[in-house]
Amino acid sequence: MLYWRIPNGQSLSEKQVISLNEQTLQFRQKVTRDNEGGIYFCIVNDGNSTEIIDSAQVLIGYEVVQNVTNNMCTLYNKRKEFICYWDLGEYHHPISLRINASVSMDNNNQNLISCPLLNISSNPTDRNIRVKCTWTPADGNQVVIDIWNQRFDVPSRQFSRYYETREITKYEPTYFINVTTQQQAGCTCVHITWSRPLGVLDISTLLTLHSEWTSIPRVFEVIRNTNHTECHLVPASDYVIHVQVKPLKGQFYSDKKSQSFQTCSTAPTIAVPVFRSGWTSSECYDSVYRDITVYWKKIPRKFQNGKLTRYILTSGDRYKKIIGNSNSAELSMPCEKNLYINISACNTEGCSPNSTLTIPYPDDLLAPKTLIVEKINTSAIELTWLGVEDQADVDIVWCEANQLPSHVRMKLL
């Protein structure tokens, strides 16, 4: 029986061994790590004795870094910490690597000052190397990272990266955010100001605006300035602004600084939604008056522009005020042929445009003599009405009965 003995206690996979014939057992392995070097033995065992047929010595030679990826260096301003990390190429051995981090005050690689407390950690499994040092942007204008193989010290194979200090510095969040709503613009605009990092004149600011009306935030970049006016907002609404700053040519924005605010209030934007049959009427009494109940829908909250406090109903010289956020009103009106009732909703800043509801003369009504309501299932009913001649069309209006959510009160007009 032929078999291979491989060095350093490595395990052997069946996929690595191919039997070509009775006398040849081929072994294949891609060598990528230093501990895979050594002497590989081909051995025969006939049951009585063991004999080495042949052997091969594998020497490992490799470059310090190949195909480096995810290379990133960050200098944290307030924490006074410099961190680099990268993924090494396929052929490497972290134990043999020599890493040096330095700063240059004159940007020409002269007078380099090595990091005083260099901490290097590595993970051979994913080829990730992390360098940590205590520095601040004030320690130098340029950061230099050098990596080489101290076992095969070839200068031409040295891996180096140069970073401008300001470009890799991650500053602390802005010190303050001020948001001012602009009532003269209809409460749809706000003016935002914030502070710049100390000692940094040219900055880039990333603003992210979250609204209660949409799940997708507005994101925009402001160059050099520390103020911005944003419009097309909804009055009397809640917003959150996030501010992140960095040097204009910097790689990293600061962590977010957030500020919540509410836009100011203004009069409702749209008219009260009404519908053709949104009313009921009694018979005329004394041939002079009839009692009318008017119904309307509430303005969607997005267009109320503030808390609704009252409704105003007018018809000719008649005027009625309904306090609170209601959706109906009762009026005693003359038995004229046609009535026109105007409805508007108001908040503390003003009233909406008028909506007009037309109520015909009682003799023009075609109310059915009989209405039959049959329940089909828990979510459907069937309506049948009788006693209407020359029917042109029908309006069906319904509303949930108070305290009885499982029943529906129907009224056919």
Q: At 358, which amino acid appears?
A: T
pLDDT of 403 higher than 50: no
Any idea which residue has 């009504």 for tokens? 365
Give bridge partners of residue 191 from the DSSP assignment.
180, 229
For residue 8, what pLDDT is reported? 78
Question: Which tens digit of pLDDT belongs to each residue from 288-309?
Answer: 888 899 999 999 999 999 999 9
Residue 413 has pLDDT above 60, yes or no: no
Q: Is there a domain that residue 165 lies in?
A: yes
Rounded to whole angstroms, how far apart are CA atoms 351 and 345?
5
Q: Is pLDDT of 223 > 90? A: yes
**Range among 30-34, 258-262, 405-409 rated most confident:** 258-262
Give the Cα separation of 210 and 258 in Å (integer): 10
> Which residues make Cβ contacts (< 8 Å) with residue 319, sequence separation at least 6?
312, 313
Name residue 129's amino acid.
I
Confidence of residue 401 (pLDDT cuts 50, 70, 90): low
Whether residue 377 is predicted with pLDDT greater than 70 in this model: the reply is yes
Cα 250 to Cα 168: distance, rounded to the nearest angstrom: 6
Strand pairing of 38-45 and 2-5?
antiparallel
Please check the confidence at residue 64 and state whether its pLDDT lies above 70.
no
C-alpha to C-alpha distance for 162 and 143, rounded to whole angstroms: 6
Q: Which two tokens stand for residue 142?
A: 């340029």
At residue 268, the pLDDT reads: 96
Read off the pLDDT band of 323 (50, 70, 90).
very high
pLDDT value for 283: 82
The torsion angles phi and psi of 389, rounded to 5 degrees, stand at -100, 150
Q: What does the H/E/C string look like for 231-255?
A: CCCCCCCEEEEEEEEEECCCCCCCC
Whether 6 and 74 map to the same domain: the answer is no
* Same domain, yes or no: 391 and 332: no
Query: Based on the domain organization, do 310 and 248 belong to the same domain?
Result: no
Q: How confident is the model at residue 285 (pLDDT cuts 50, 70, 90)?
A: confident
pLDDT at 319: 92
Alpha helices by DSSP H, 150-295: 165-168
Banded model confidence at residue 207, pLDDT cuts 50, 70, 90: very high
62 has pLDDT over 60 = no
This prediction has a pTM of 0.71
Structural domain that includes position 403: 370-412
Sign of CA dihedral 397, 399, 401, 404: positive
Segment 119-144 shows an average pLDDT of 71
Q: For a pLDDT cut of 70, what percent of the chain falls above it?
A: 81
**Cβ distance 36 to 123 under 8 Å?**
no
Residue 196 has pLDDT above 50, yes or no: yes
Q: What is the mean pLDDT of the chain?
A: 82
In a domain, 268, yes or no: no
Please report whether residue 221 resides in a domain. Answer: yes
Specify whether 138 is located in the same domain as 185: no
Average pLDDT (251-259) is: 94
pLDDT band at 92 (very low <50, low <70, confident <90, very high): low
Q: Are residues 149 and 73 in the same domain?
A: yes
What's 89's domain CATH number? 2.60.40.10
**Greater pLDDT, 293 or 118:** 293
Residue 34 pLDDT class (50, 70, 90 cuts) = low
In this prediction, residues 82-109 reach a mean pLDDT of 71
Total tally of structural domains belonging to the chain? 5
Final residue of a structural domain among 170, 194, 226:
170
| pLDDT at res. 155 | 62
Distance, in Å, from the CA atom of 217 to the CA atom of 242, rounded to the nearest integer, reads 10
Residue 242 has pLDDT above 70, yes or no: yes
Give the pLDDT confidence score for residue 87 in this predicted structure. Answer: 72
Question: For residues 187 and 131, which has the higher predicted lDDT (pLDDT)?
Answer: 187
Answer for the pair 122, 27: CB distance below 8 angstroms, yes or no.
no
Euclidean distance between CA atoms 111 and 103, whole angstroms: 8
Maximum average pLDDT range among 145-154, 248-257, 333-342, 384-393: 248-257
Residue range 63-88: average pLDDT? 74
**273 within domain boundaries:** no
**pLDDT at position 254 over 90:** yes
| Residue 377 vs residue 16, higher pLDDT | 377
Provide the pLDDT confidence category of residue 107 given band limits of 50, 70 and 90. Answer: low
Distance CA 312, CA 291 (A): 18
**Cα 413 to Cα 410: distance, rounded to the nearest angstrom:** 10
Domain endpoint, select from 142, 170, 198:
170
Q: How many CA atoms lie within 13 A of 55 on its CB side?
A: 11
- Which of 236, 239, 195 has the alpha carbon at shortest distance from 217? 239
> Is residue 163, in this structure, part of any structural domain at all?
yes
Upper half-sphere CA count for residue 211 (Cβ side, 13 Å):
17
Residue 409 has pLDDT above 50, yes or no: no
- In eight-state DSSP terms, residue 285 is B
* 129 found inside a domain: yes
| pLDDT over 80 at 19, yes or no | no
- 149 and 93 within one domain: yes
| Amino acid code (one letter) for 2 | L
356: part of which helix (H) or strand (E)? strand 355-359
Mean pLDDT in residue range 236-241: 96
| 168 Cβ contact list (under 8 Å, min separation 6) | 73, 74, 75, 143, 250, 251, 252
Is 41 in the same domain as 76? no
Last residue of a domain, one of 230, 262, 294: 262
**Phi/psi of residue 302, each to 5°?**
-60, -25
Q: What percent of the chain has pLDDT over 90?
A: 34
Mean pLDDT of 156-177: 84
